[in-house]
Chain A
Amino acid sequence: MSDTRKIINDGLWTNNPALVQILGLCPLLAVSSTVINALGLGLATTLTLVSSNLVVSLIRNQTRPEIRIPVFVLIIAAVVTAIELSMNAFFHELYLVLGIFIPLIVTNCVIIARAEAFASKNSPGASVLDGLMMGIGFTAVLVVLGGLREVIGQGTLFANAHLMFGELGYNMTITLIEDYRGFLLAILPPGAFMLLGFMIAIKNVIDARRKRAASAVILTAPVGA
């Protein structure tokens, strides 16, 4: 497997930040009550990951190893501040909904983990790709979890889409279940924990099946082939 393919595969599946590394759970569980909230936070996190990975990778040869962690933290904080201010400017309502969790992206362990484990050792191009793929992997889990919680919890999908897509978003809300009474557990944090647990379990089942299928292929391959 080539390096690029490995980076993509790692971020999206094998080493997915939410399903395998289980990093950044605080925003993952707190904000994923609707698809739109999840998407907003996921995109902000992705943008942070890409930018911080790029900068960390660019200065990796100038930073002394003794002080690298504080330097990374400063870079990430600067990036997050910029993203926070621009969200406040362009998506003000969404910014108000996500609230404290935007500045808290600074403390999301996925970002410092990628800076330390990947960007500080690899070229800027590979680091940007890694940041993008980890970000998309994180966003995907966040959005699926948000979708599950929204459907089970209040019977809708894409509620409040206007926060992100403006006027267009008013027509995006889909009511899947009419007269739904709401299932509060899915909206509350315990429901998020349980659903994330189920998602991790499903991923493990898929992996186990694949592994079994792969080993079956090897076993049945003719000798000397």
Chain B
Amino acid sequence: MEFKTPTSPHIHSGASVSRVMLLVIAAMIPGIAVYVGYFGWGVVINILLAIVTALACEAGMLIIRKRPVLPFLYDGSALVTAFLLALALPPIAPWWIVVLGAAFAIIIAKQLYGGLGYNPFNPAMAGYVMLLVSFPIEMTRWQAPLVNSETSLSFIDSWNIIFSGIAEKIGDNITDAITMATPLDNLKTELRLDQSVEQIINGNPLFSHLAGLGWEWINIAFLVGGLFLIYKRIISWHIPVAVLATIAVLSGVFYLIDADKFSSPMIHLLSGATMLGAFFIATDPVSATSSNPGRIIYGVGIGIFIYVIRTWGGYPDAVAFSVLLMNMVAPTIDYYVKPRVFGHKK
């Protein structure tokens, strides 16, 4: 695909692609640490599997396309894709889910469109949505936060679950013991049964003070990492602020209208993939819009889609769908929101 280069100035901050990518990964570390704390080593195994698959596919495709292999592997973009995809998957997903998703993300969503800089869709999210649409059972089987359940998961346990599906073979006892709906999923199912939000949350072991147990701290950790990226000028504030403000305003308005049927802004902001999506996924420099006013429109669009799909749609969370939908219109937004060229009138 061809994308128009935005107007000047093209001042370069001296940041190379690999430095940007490494800082992005560094900023994810607090989030990943909290995630591992609540959900066990499956997260790390998923990340490693995704990295190996993504790098292998990237190298293979570069060789087929007769492009230099090492410079593109070192730029770290495949690495970031692998991290984002792995963080979006359930920590007890079987290994082939991760491998298939990472391969799809790199081969089809990235390299077939021309590689880094040419992919119209966020590769990690394309891979995630492909998995979610194709394997709904594996993709919606989440485990309960470890602090909550009696079973503990050692590294070996997670390894066995991911590679041999041992939980399924022994019987449903173990699977039942460690799997549980995510807070957003639970909220959605119960709301359909005409329960009020307060009834659902009170005394429910899935929920804690602010939002879902575990999820609130994972989201806060990703928020911290995101703020670090803004401080380092790796991402601009426009997209995350637009996404989060839109979710907050929309959920706030509906919460004020009917607090029984619509969950609070706090739950929306600190549940699921909100923070990871706003700071790390939506800000992908390739598939997002490129001007600041464009970024605001893009972020607001993602926020609206997230809230609408979460509240009225068929899926409990919607970051991936929202990002892909706005990826589709990003070139159009860029076309209409052209910054004024220096020395010209609007």
Contact = CB atoms under 8 A, between A and B. Distances in A.
A206 B343 CA distance: 52
Interface in B117-161: 130, 133-137
Interface residues of B, number: 7
B108 A184 contact: no
A183 B108 CA distance: 16
B133 A194 contact: no
Interface string B98-115: 000000000010000000
A82 interface: no
A5 to B, nearest CB: 34
Contacts, number: 13
B108 A185 contact: no
Interface in B251-278: none
A194 B112 CA distance: 11
A181 interface: yes
B119 to A, nearest CB: 15
Interface string A178-191: 00010111001000
A185 B133 CA distance: 7
A188 B108 contact: no
A59 to B, nearest CB: 46
Nearest to B100: A183
Q: Which of B108, B130, B136, B137 has the most CB of A within 10 A?
A: B130
Interface residues on A, range: under 10
Q: Which of B130, B133, B134, B135 has the most CB of A within 10 A?
A: B134
A183 B137 CA distance: 12
Contacts of B137: 181
A188 B136 CA distance: 14
Nearest to B137: A181
Contacts of A181: 135, 137
Contacts of B108: 194
Nearest to A181: B135
Contacts of A184: 133-136
A197 to B, nearest CB: 8
Nearest to B130: A185
A185 B136 CA distance: 11
Contacts of B135: 181, 183-184
A183 B136 CA distance: 10
A185 B108 CA distance: 13
A198 to B, nearest CB: 9
A185 B135 CA distance: 9
A184 to B, nearest CB: 4
Contacts of B133: 184-185, 188
Contacts of B130: 185
Interface string A54-93: 0000000000000000000000000000000000000000
A220 to B, nearest CB: 25
A41 B130 CA distance: 28
Contacts of B134: 183-185
B148 to A, nearest CB: 29
A181 B135 CA distance: 8
Interface in A172-217: 181, 183-185, 188, 194
Nearest to A187: B134
Nearest to B108: A194
Contacts of A185: 130, 133-134
A225 to B, nearest CB: 34
Contacts of B136: 184
Interface string A123-158: 000000000000000000000000000000000000
Nearest to A185: B134
A184 B134 CA distance: 4
A184 B130 CA distance: 9
Nearest to A197: B112
Nearest to B131: A185
Contacts of A194: 108
A47 B250 CA distance: 57
Given A181-B137, A184-B134, A185-B134, 6 more contacts: A183-B134, A184-B136, A185-B130, A185-B133, A188-B133, A194-B108
Please name the 7 residue pairs, one residue from A and one from B, whose CB atoms are nearest each other, closest first.
A185-B134, A184-B134, A183-B134, A185-B130, A185-B133, A184-B133, A188-B133
13 contacts: A181-B135, A181-B137, A183-B134, A183-B135, A184-B133, A184-B134, A184-B135, A184-B136, A185-B130, A185-B133, A185-B134, A188-B133, A194-B108
